[in-house]
């Protein structure tokens, strides 16, 4: 028994010493936090200096994110070949405040109610990306696999293939646009759920920044503006 006590006493002493050390360390930490909090309230100390530099910077980038530009990634092939899965792009959010979307622009938007009804889902914050093909007052149809805008059959070099569906002529109402995916036969877009209210538009996709092999501006058919053979702004 005496031998056992002799063996246990050093261990008990070590445990006691460690416990005391933990208590001292906790008290030191608590005192340090209390001192730093007091300095922070007086506008002094390292924590205050860090917060003074970090918070305005964070607020600045947060404002950019919500008001000017935000990153988005591509989760599907509905816009192929313009975008591939996992492409990352910048979406500017400024032009929507002073002009309506233009034909040929690629926009990111909150889906309209019919989108959710047809998918039997509740709105979950998912955003969708498509190309604007018609604006208010335009007539739009699909026949023989081709898009017909205001009576003109368009040649769209950015699409993946001809559409395997027809769409009777529709007139785009005020306050809305008509959007289609570039991968026409693999896109859940306006030919299913109708017109997109402009108020649902989050922003306009401008630049692909990842992967590096895809780096560059988003194709908007600007090289053929005004030509009936392309999706231009002056089609009639």
The answer to whether residue 223 is catalytic is no
Query: pLDDT digits over 187-216, tens only?
Result: 999 999 999 999 999 999 888 888 888 888
Among the listed residues 32, 93, 130, 176, the single catalytic one is: 130
The answer to whether the beta carbons of residues 89 and 83 sit under 8 Å apart is yes
Residue 120, sorted as left (phi over 0), alpha (psi -120 to 50) or beta, turns out to be left
Q: Which 3 state secondary structure label does DSSP give 90?
A: strand
Tokens of 136: 């208010």
Stretch (H or E) spanning 220? none
Among the listed residues 78, 176, 187, 190, the single catalytic one is: 78
Structural domains of the chain in order of their starting residue, each with its CATH number: 2-65 (no CATH), 71-224 (2.10.109.10)
Q: pLDDT truncated to tens, each residue of the chain (236 aa)?
A: 554 445 444 554 544 554 555 565 666 766 766 776 676 566 666 665 554 554 444 343 333 444 456 888 788 999 999 999 999 988 888 888 888 899 999 999 999 999 999 988 888 888 899 999 999 999 999 999 999 999 999 888 889 999 999 999 999 999 999 999 999 999 999 999 999 999 999 999 888 888 888 888 887 654 444 444 344 444 33
pTM attached to this predicted model:
0.69
Sign of the alpha-carbon torsion through 169, 137, 187, 208: positive
């Amino acid at each position: 028994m005496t031998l056992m006590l002799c063996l246990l006493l050093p261990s008990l002493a070590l445990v006691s010493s460690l416990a005391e050390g933990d208590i001292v360390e906790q008290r030191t930490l608590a005192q340090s936090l209390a001192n730093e909090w007091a300095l922070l309230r007086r506008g002094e100390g390292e924590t205050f200096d860090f917060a003074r530099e970090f918070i305005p910077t964070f607020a600045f980038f947060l404002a950019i994110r919500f008001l000017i530009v935000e990153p988005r990634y591509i989760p599907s092939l509905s816009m192929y070949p313009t975008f591939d899965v996992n492409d990352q792009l910048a979406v500017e959010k400024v032009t929507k405040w002073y002009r309506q979307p233009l034909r040929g622009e690629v926009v990111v938007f909150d889906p309209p109610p019919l989108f959710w009804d047809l998918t039997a889902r509740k709105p979950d914050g998912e955003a969708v990306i498509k190309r604007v093909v018609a604006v208010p007052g335009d007539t739009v149809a699909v026949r023989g696999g081709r898009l017909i805008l205001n009576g003109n059959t368009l040649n769209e070099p950015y699409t993946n293939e001809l559409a395997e569906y027809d769409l009777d002529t529709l007139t785009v109402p005020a306050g809305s646009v008509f959007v289609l995916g570039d991968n026409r036969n693999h896109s859940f877009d306006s030919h299913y759920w109708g017109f997109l209210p402009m108020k649902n538009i989050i922003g306009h996709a401008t630049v692909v920044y990842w992967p590096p092999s895809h780096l560059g501006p988003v194709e908007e058919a600007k090289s053929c503006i005004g030509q009936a053979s392309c999706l231009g702004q002056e089609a009639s």
